[in-house]
Amino acid sequence: MIKQRWETRPLEIWDRAKELRAKWQKSIDNRQHLLAQGNTVESDWSPGFEKYLKIVEDNPVGAFMASKSHSFARRARLASEVRGWGRELCGYVNNCWGAQFLGRDMDGGPFPYRDMCVPFPDVCDQHLKRGQQCMDLSPIPRWGGDMPIYPGERDPKRDEEMIEHRVYCNLKIIADIERIFGIEFDDERFVENIKLREKLSAYGLRISQLMTQVPTPLSAKDLYSFYTLGDLTKLNPEEINDFWKSFVDEVQWRADNRIAAVGGERYRYMEAHPPAWYYLKYYRYLESYGAVCIGSQYSHIMSGTLEVKEDGSLAHRDVTPPADKPIRTREDAVRQWITEARGNRFKDDEYCRKWAITDFARGFKADGAIMALWRCGVGCTLTRKEQALRLSEMGLRVLHCEGSQPGDRTDMDEHGFLDRIDAWMESQGLEKLDDR
Amino acid sequence: MNKLQDILEHRHEYARDWKKRTGGRILGFYDVYFPEEVAYAAGVLPVRILAKHSEDFLTDRLMYGNCYCTRDMLNQFARGDYDYADGIVSVESCQWHYNAFDTTLIEKPELWSHYVFTPDYTDARTSKNVMRSELDLFRRKLGEWTGKEPGDEDLDRAIDVYNRNRQLLRRLYELRKFDGTPISGSEAMDTVLACQVMDKAEANELLEELLEETESRPPREDCVRLMLIGSETYDAALERIVESLGANVVIDDLDNGTGYIMRDVTPQRDRLMAIGMRYLLKPHSALKDNVWRRRPQRIWEFIEDWQADGVIIAKQIYCHPHGSDMYMVWNLLRERNVAFHTFERDTTLPYEETALGIEALINIIKPGMTRLRGQEV
């Protein structure tokens, strides 16, 4: 068998992505803005304060620390643990807030203390408490919010009060920030961002659709370099729009010309939730078997909620369209943005749309799955065993790996993981391409 | 052992017997944020699903990283311990609880089920509207299930029974405020837990008897008074270890303790709003105490009012809300020079290991205690 089945080449847009990421990091390091701890995905109003405020989650900060400096991440987690935080809590949280207690960042610079805490509602219990350490450290202004959920079919009647609740909470936060910090909210910018979100979701969907092709023009490892841009790492909307447009163009070109992410692609596997950020090497290792990761519901989050339609195509889940009326007030804009009570992708896919994981496997033509079991992350591990059983039932070979959490290297047996990968691949009749 | 303790120990037999006696339906619930009053008003008996460890061949296949309690809850359903439950209900609260609920329905799809969204952000102007709307839906669903939608009179009756229960349990807690408390921590915890698994009207009668009897008991020998903080508990095993070391748990900040008995439903014309407000304003769990921090003040008030000499923080391993709250709790206790001991609980409580840490705490406290002067240290 030939090792190289498809033509491959590096992405040209890679340098632009690095520049954007560096720009985001610099804006935090230089304290050009007020800093808020909160959920960036649930704070789509924040570009309205673009000139003054930046929302920074403890992720990707925590994941970045785990990936770049194991020793600093360990020191940070220890600083957090000795102050009472559980040792079995999310590594992102303990890395980021441990650094807060150390008073410095990974590069030795001062820690970017938060000026306020905007809601980080309950994607998982750990998310809900994610703002707690900076709130408990100093009496910064803080707000709350909810991500309602209920199992079963969506019920528009039931959603009404939940939507009102979400609208109220967001309007209150904007008004309070203006009042407390004396900064002006740019409503037009906010409306532009709502429109940008729709575009980004369409770009994301196109990328996801192209990745269903064999060979995939992009692997999950590639995707991880881009998927947070405009979302977790919010930047100037025009710049982000240009970037994603170019990105889609390049991936489309690669797909049209059968340029593969992995030249030896012959086996496609999927994942669930974040990978071990400190040990992404396993992706390369699997490539030596001709195995390519086509991502997970988590890594394709930029596409919104996906499902396989009756004709077999991958598309967005049908959602309630925003009311077709002009945006005249800030409230109109918030209502344009919040059209559903139960919009959270993670919770919906895990509790309410249990078939979403098998849809994903079918849509991306997955042959197998690596389902990481992160014992220190509620949201990172909840329902994972059930999902693995569903995938097994549809014929996918599932490999589990265990560890503390994607941002905590403590309990990950890296060599053991590679051994299990060997056994998993060989049990499916695959040998390393190099060995042939 | 008082009668309520006996019912707690034989809670499944009690529930089966209740069903036989009344012909009513039984609804298992996972979390103390479940508005029991609404179910009770519909003639349904809400029974708290309490973890109890037993041989487990199932949960590892379906769960990973869960606290032992939720594993045991699933396991008990699989074993048939809750074969008398006609349905289960969950609320927005601890996600492990939700997972146990969700996974149990995979194993037992025949169970009737419902989910009540109780806002995690309880303080917004709109939180109460969401809560009310959820209670209204729950009332309607119960009506469809039982054939009788509870009306205002039914709700009034349920509110009265539940308020009475909380008042009686608070009276029991009041008895623990002073030296020579006539009731031990384990007996008090057993009693509160028993009330969560039985008909409250019957529990109230037994509580009246117990209070009368307890109030006439001679005072217990004075000893080190401890407070218990942490994850929910499902038995009084820890309190018993404390007592075996010559100390007593006199107050707690536990969801299933003070979190269950504090704050009544304040009656108002809109009964559902009244019930909803009770659950939005009750002493919050670590999970829902996430914006306006009320736990520190509450914990301090408990320490002062119940004259606790020290604190045990027992966190269930993998209990994320409590793991995230300990920084605040430790800060509070250190600022106020309160001795404390923190440990992680797991499936069972090994006596020697658990006792060793608590004994060390007691030995730190005792030498400085003037009211115990003369006693052997």
What number of H helices and E strands is found in chain B?
A: 16, 8
* Assigned domain for A410 exists: yes
pLDDT tier for residue A318 given thresholds of 50, 70 and 90: confident
pLDDT band, residue A435 (cuts 50/70/90): low
Mean pLDDT for all residues in chain B: 95
Average pLDDT, stretch A123-145? 87
Please provide the DSSP assignment of B93-117 as one string: S-HHHHHHHHHHHHH-TTSEEEEE-
* Within-domain flag for A100: yes
φ, ψ for residue A376, nearest 5 deg: -100, 10
* Whether B224 contacts B366, CB under 8 Å: yes
pLDDT of residue B12: 98
Query: Residue B276 above 90 pLDDT?
Result: yes
| B49 within 8 A of B30, measured Cβ to Cβ | yes
Smallest CA-to-CA distance from B49 within B75, B31, B64 is with B31
Question: Residue A1 domain-assigned?
Answer: no
**List of residues 6+ apart from B129 with CB closer than 8 A:** A161, A164, A165
Cα(first)–Cα(last) distance of chain B, in Å?
Answer: 30
Q: Which of B60, B115, B290 sits opposite A132 (nearest CB)?
A: B290
Q: Tell me which of B99, B111, B291, B320 to substitute to probe the interface with A (most A C-beta atoms closer than 10 Å).
A: B320
| pLDDT tens, residue by residue, B284-339 | 999 999 888 999 999 999 999 999 999 999 999 999 999 999 999 999 999 999 99
Chain A residues 335-374 with a CB less than 8 Å from chain B: 351, 373-374
Nearest Cβ partner for A145 among B121, B286, B326: B121
Taking contacts as CB-CB distances below 8 angstroms, the residues of chain B near A135 are 293
- Residue A435 belongs to a domain: no
Say if A382 falls within a structural domain. Answer: yes
SS (H, E, C) chain A: CCCCCCEECCCCCHHHHHHHHHHHHHHHHCCCCEEEECCCCCCCCHHHHCCCEEEECHHHHHHHHHHHCHHHHHHHHHHHHCCCCCCCCCHHHHHHHHHHHHCECCCCCECCCCCEECCCCCCCHHHHCCCHHHHHHCCCCECCCCCCCCCCCCCHHHHHHHHHHHHHHHHHHHHHHHHHHCCCCCHHHHHHHHHHHHHHHHHHHHHHHHCCCCCCCCCHHHHCCCCCECCCECCCHHHHHHHHHHHHHHHHHHHHCCEECCCCCCEEEEECCCCCHHHCHHHHHHHCCCEEECCCCCCCHHHCCEEECCCCCEEECCCCCCCCCCCCCHHHHHHHHCCCCCCCHHHHHHHHCCCHHHHHHHHCCCCEEEEEEECCCHHHHCCHHHHHHHHHHCCCEEEEEEECECCECCCCCHHHHHHHHHHHHHCCCCCCHHHC
3-state secondary structure of B65: coil
Cβ A148–B327 below 8 Å, yes or no?
no
A386 has a chain B CB within 8 A of its CB: yes
Six-digit token string for A230: 């405009």
Q: Is the pLDDT of residue A3 over 80?
A: no
User: Count of domains in chain A?
Assistant: 1
pLDDT of residue B368: 76
Q: Is the pLDDT of residue A436 over 60?
A: no
- Comparing CB atoms, the residue among A88, A124, A150 nearest residue B115 is A150
What is residue B374's predicted lDDT score, i.e. its pLDDT? 63
- A371 pLDDT band (50/70/90 cuts)? very high
Q: Give A48-71 pLDDT, tens digit per residue.
A: 998 899 888 888 889 989 999 999
Optimal mutation site among B89, B99, B114, B121, interface A, most CBs of chain A within 10 A: B121
Chain B residue numbers touching A98 (CB-CB < 8 A): none
Residue B111 C-alpha, separation from nearest chain A C-alpha, in angstroms: 15
Return the axis-axis angle of helices B95-107 and B68-79, rounded to nearest 10°.
Answer: 20
Residue A212: predicted pLDDT: 96
Min Cα separation A166/chain B (Å): 9
Global pTM? 0.94
A1 has pLDDT over 60: no
Report the alpha-carbon distance of residue A78 to residue A89 in Å, rounded.
Answer: 12
Does A434 reside within a domain? no
- B-chain residues within 8 Å CB-CB of A164? 126, 129-130
Contacts of B98 in chain A (CB under 8 A): 351
Residues of the domain holding A275: 7-321+329-426
Q: What average pLDDT score do residues B75-89 get?
A: 97
pLDDT, one tens digit per residue, over B124-156 is 999 999 999 999 999 999 999 999 999 999 999
* Contact between B266 and B274 (Cβ < 8 Å): yes
Q: Is A393 exposed, middle or buried (0-12, 13-18, 19+ CB in 10 A)?
A: exposed
Averaged confidence pLDDT in chain A: 91
| Structural domain includes residue A183 | yes
Residue A359 tokens, joined: 């849809």
User: What is each CA distance from A370 to A200, A208, A264, A295, in whole angstroms?
Assistant: 28, 19, 19, 10
Q: Cβ of B92 under 8 Å from any chain A Cβ?
A: yes
Chain B CB contacts of A351 under 8 Å are 98, 102
Please report whether residue A431 resides in a domain: no
Q: Which residues contact B119 (CB under 8 A, 6 or more apart)?
A: A146, A148, A165, B92, B127, B130, B131, B280
Provide the ipTM: 0.94
Q: Is the preceding peptide bond at A215 cis, omega within 30 degrees of 0?
A: yes
User: From CA A186, how far away is CA A193, in angstroms rounded?
Assistant: 11
Q: What is the pLDDT of residues B202-237, one digit of tens each?
A: 999 999 999 999 999 998 888 999 999 999 999 999
